[in-house]
């Protein structure tokens, strides 16, 4: 696609669709995942990128019931700016119809940052 761009303008003969771009991205991700499931791949990425994370599953089961994760920089920001914390949970609004918890903090100059997802 780079060779189809000239001075940040698309060449008239370019017929690449957004679907082709998404398909190529998924092909790349599937190649990186190998035989891992999506959740196994996510857990591997959390480990590699040194996220603080915690998961819970039912006893005797391999199904994850809860998963929390936080970026290392988010933890540093929280340790510096812990005065304002907003907690929001949505219920049954995502693809899997499960709750999503997000905890957000605010710096002294009004910027927001995500502390944790769950």
pLDDT digits (tens, 9 = 90+) for 55-103: 888 888 888 888 889 999 999 999 998 888 888 888 777 777 788 888 9
Q: pLDDT-based confidence at 4, cuts 50/70/90? A: low
Domain that holds residue 77: 2-117
Determine if the pTM surpasses 0.75: no
Cβ atoms of residues 103 and 115 within 8 Å: yes
Residue 46, pLDDT above cutoff 90 = yes
The separation between CA 23 and the C-alpha centre of its own chain, rounded to angstroms, equals 19
Structure tokens at 93: 């609004």
Number of domains in the chain: 1
Q: Percent of the chain scored above 70 by pLDDT?
A: 91
Instruction: Give the mean model confidence (pLDDT) for residues 1-25.
Output: 73
């Amino acid at each position: 696609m780079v060779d189809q761009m000239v001075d940040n303008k698309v060449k008239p003969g370019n017929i690449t669709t957004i679907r082709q771009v998404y398909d190529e991205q998924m092909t790349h991700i599937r190649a990186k995942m190998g035989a891992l499931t999506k959740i196994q791949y996510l857990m591997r990425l959390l480990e590699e990128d040194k996220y603080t994370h915690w998961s819970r599953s039912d006893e005797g089961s391999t199904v994850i019931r809860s998963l929390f994760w936080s970026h290392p920089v988010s933890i540093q920001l929280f340790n510096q700016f812990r005065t304002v914390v907003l907690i929001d949970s949505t219920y049954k609004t995502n693809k899997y119809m499960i709750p999503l918890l997000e905890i957000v903090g605010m710096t002294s100059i009004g910027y927001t940052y995500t502390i944790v997802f769950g």
